Chains A and B, each alone.
Chain A
Amino acid sequence: RKEVEQDPGPFNVPEGATVAFNCTYSNSASQSFFWYRQDCRKEPKLLMSVYSSGNEDGRFTAQLNRASQYISLLIRDSKLSDSATYLCVVIPLNSGGYQKVTFGTGTKLQVIP
């Protein structure tokens, strides 16, 4: 099983729709979680951290389900500008050495007019 798994998509959704992506992780000791956004031919950029209690930033909601070992990203009222690839990032609990950061391969979102 991969350490971090994402559905590659693409998710094709109409403008205004609500869309959700999941990201599953295999290391139960994982501690920190993030969502990054990557536009075509650009670098990944931090979208939001994922907190245990869930968190919201405008139209974006991130949630963590430790029991089932996945994080989710919900986008409400999709805009054309939301079209991008969304990467999840998982960082394990620091055991004193290097914290192995694992990136998912990304889920592609295409918002259609």
Chain B
Amino acid sequence: DVKVTQSSRYLVKRTGEKVFLECVQDMDHENMFWYRQDPGLGLRLIYFSYDVKMKEKGDIPEGYSVSREKKERFSLILESASTNQTSMYLCASTGLPLSYGYTFGSGTRLTVV
């Protein structure tokens, strides 16, 4: 089975802190994604990557950046955490074509206080 591993299940950070969320997949997938999920809003795409060192903005990239230095690892960075970034963050990966479906990590519930 494909495994997508997110480094933390729960995080509490202070406003203004720089926050790193790590995601690792073990199936040599080209595509990796970061979503946030909020009640009533569903899953919203923050950033995605099709290849090493490649990144593309999703629907809500403001306040976030990403890094993909190795194929298996995709990091989400909150440059200066704010309370409106309190959310569930989900990493996903998939091979090609995308019609094979996504595999998600177990999520990181981030609270910014």
Contacts and interface: CB of A to CB of B under 8 A. Distances in A.
B56 A45 contact: no
Interface string B38-61: 001111010010100000100000
Nearest to B88: A41
A52 interface: no
Contacts, number: 46
A106 B42 contact: yes
Nearest to B101: A46
B106 A31 contact: no
Given A43-B90, A105-B42, A106-B42, A94 B97 contact: yes
**Binding site secondary structure of chain B:** mixed
- State which size class the interface on B falls in: 20 to 34
B101 A103 contact: no
A42 B99 contact: no
Nearest to B107: A43
Contact of B98 (A45, A91, A103, A105): A91
Contact of B106 (A43, A94, A101, A106): A43
Interface of B: 40-43, 45, 48, 50, 56, 90, 97-99, 101-107, 109
Interface of A: 8, 31-32, 34, 41-46, 49, 87, 89, 91, 94, 98-99, 101, 103-106
